[in-house]
Structure 1
Amino acid sequence: MAESVIKVKELSAAYRKNTVLENVDFSVEKGSLTGIVGPNGAGKSTLIKTMLQLHPSLSGTVDFMGLPFKQAKKYIGYVPQRGSVDWDFPTNALDVVTMGLYGKIGWLKLPTRMHKEKAFHALKKMGMEDYADRQISQLSGGQQQRVFLARALVQDADIYFMDEPLAGVDAATERAIMTILKELKANGKTVMVVHHDLQTVEEYFDHVLLLNRTVMNHGKTTETFTKDNVAKTYGGNMRWMGEEKQYVVHTGK
């Protein structure tokens, strides 16, 4: 049986008085690439933020490799939604990536040449080495996303959380990001990704977590990502088109 490196038990969370997560239970295998999938308002981003203590929980427990978050955070990398970042902050791409090393450098110390070289190598891995000195506000959305992924990569974490890393990026950037995520998995890293495109779930992820405020289903994609399970997760907001798996999600009332 595969080793579980993430265990979530009876996790609940709310915004003001509105419950957005209720009794969430699941565990994640080491070296898996999991897509977190569900309708708008299902609590996908809130789930990640609550697990990482960026949002308070009402109840429940989360552990990583048998440790609480405070003890395990040095093993965890996080890429937030691009829209939640202040891209007007006056800094260049290389400095943004170097920030991923501050846990090892220490906040009151300056990065060394070795740290800068590690950061540059991470930028190069994302095809962004020519933009190292470019202000992040001058980069396109796809380029900004590559820089943020490079910042996570330079941490050399064991567990990665990524909140909609493919949202609003061009096809080339999407391919580049998925290549890196599959490399991480191949190297034994554990990756959880909030994802919105149902058409690519089977191609991109070996595990899927279907979420609608609570876990509707979770497991290997080949067994879990079925017509019935997706319909149950999306309710009346989803139509199944034809024999091939084509999904149309209705966002209106």
Structure 2
Amino acid sequence: MRDIVLQVNHLAAAYRKNTVLHDVNFTVRAGSLTGIVGPNGAGKSTLIKTLLQLHPALSGEIRFYQTTYQKAKDKIGYVPQRGSVDWDFPTTALDVVTMGLYRKIGWLKWPRAKHKAKAYEALEKMGMADYANRQISQLSGGQQQRVFLARALVQDADMYFMDEPLVGVDAATERAIMAILKELKKAGKTVLVVHHDLQTVSEYFDHVMLLNRTVINYGKTEVVFTKENIAKTYGGNMRWMGEEEQNVVHSVK
């Protein structure tokens, strides 16, 4: 039981009167890198927001580290969808990353030199040190995503939730982000990532959650990520790379 870091039982959530999630059940163990995949409207982003109390739950139980989110939140980092952020806000990349330290600094206190240094180190790790004093509105989409990931890293959390961090980024940024996520896993951190590209699931994640308003299946990628399970999740017609290529999805129509 000690390695269980998240337990969700019978979770449900809705927007207005439309149920988005129903009877969601799963358990996450420490040190796993999980891809959350499913069709558009499956409730992937809503799931993360509900777990982190950014969206109300209709029912169900959520336990982080055998306690409530409020008591465990200092152990949790979050990277929202890039499209949900006001990138025109007048602030620098370094300031954005420093914001990730405010729980440790204190909301009414100014960051000190050691905090700025830690934020700069996180930018450096993401290859963004040269842009530390650049306004975030002047950065490309991929650069903005690197900055937001640096803000999450500087929190030094035990568990990270990331909502589509690879959407709209260039290939180099995608490789850089995945390298960092795999480093986090290697360090014993737990990472859950909303992901859209089925072709890279087997390469990127050791665990996968197939979600379509409820959890269709969840577990080790090599066991769960099969043609049959993906068909249950997505429905419709699928085109595969070939029956002999370990049931890897080529595309979903």
Q: TM-score range by the shorter chain?
A: over 0.9
Deviation per CA, 1:123-172: give whole Å up to 9, x if none.
Answer: 00000000000000000000000000000000000000000000010000
1:94 Cα offset (Å) = 0.1
1:194 matched to which residue of 2?
194
Q: In structure 2, give the amino acid aligned to 1:76.
A: I
Q: In structure 2, give the amino acid aligned to 1:25.
A: N
2:70 matched to which residue of 1?
70
2:3 matched to which residue of 1?
3
- Given candidates 225, 239, 249, the residue that maps to 2:252 is 249
- The runs of at least 4 aligned residues of structure 1 exceeding 6 Å deviation read none
Deviation per CA, 1:42-97: give whole Å up to 9, x if none.
Answer: 00000000000000000001111111011111110000000000000000000000
For structure 2, which runs of at least 5 residues remain unmatched after alignment? none
For structure 1, which runs of at least 5 residues remain unmatched after alignment? none
1:237 Cα offset (Å) = 5.3
Deviation per CA, 1:181-230: give whole Å up to 9, x if none.
Answer: 00000000000000000000000000000000000000000000001001
State how far apart, in whole Å, the 2-side matches of 1:2 and 1:112 are: 36
Q: In structure 1, give the amino acid aligned to 2:249.
A: Q
1:249 Cα offset (Å) = 1.7
1:2 Cα offset (Å) = 7.7
Deviation per CA, 1:1-35: give whole Å up to 9, x if none.
Answer: 88211101100000011000001000001000000
1:115 matched to which residue of 2?
115
How many residues are matched?
250
Q: In structure 2, give the amino acid aligned to 1:89.
A: F
1:219 matched to which residue of 2?
219
1:147 partnered with 2:147: yes
State how far apart, in whole Å, the 2-side matches of 1:44 and 1:227 are: 20
1:37-56 equivalent positions in 2, closer than 5 A: 37-56=37-56
State how far apart, in whole Å, the 2-side matches of 1:218 and 1:205 are: 12
State how far apart, in whole Å, the 1-side matches of 2:241 and 2:174 are: 25
1:155-166 equivalent positions in 2, closer than 5 A: 155-166=155-166
2:20 matched to which residue of 1?
20
Q: In structure 1, give the amino acid aligned to 2:20.
A: V
State how far apart, in whole Å, the 2-side matches of 1:76 and 1:237 are: 38
Q: TM-score, normalised by structure 1?
A: 0.97
Give the SS at the match of 1:236: coil
State how far apart, in whole Å, the 2-side matches of 1:207 and 1:22 are: 22
1:239 Cα offset (Å) = 3.3
State how far apart, in whole Å, the 1-side matches of 2:105 and 2:174 are: 31
Change (3 A) 1:237 1:49: farther
The share of aligned pairs that are identical, in percent, is: 76
1:242 Cα offset (Å) = 2.3
Decide whether the 8 Å contact of 2:93 with 2:134 is kept in 1: yes
State how far apart, in whole Å, the 1-side matches of 2:14 and 2:240 are: 31
State how far apart, in whole Å, the 2-side matches of 1:34 and 1:248 are: 20
1:246 Cα offset (Å) = 3.3
Q: In structure 1, give the amino acid aligned to 2:250.
A: Y
Give the SS at the match of 2:236: helix
Decide whether the 8 Å contact of 2:80 with 2:163 is kept in 1: yes
Deviation per CA, 1:89-130: give whole Å up to 9, x if none.
Answer: 000000000000001101100000000000000000000000
Decide whether the 8 Å contact of 2:21 with 2:214 is kept in 1: yes
Give the SS at the match of 2:88: coil
Q: In structure 2, give the amino acid aligned to 1:75.
A: K
Instruction: Give the root-mean-square deviation of aligned CA atoms.
Output: 1.0
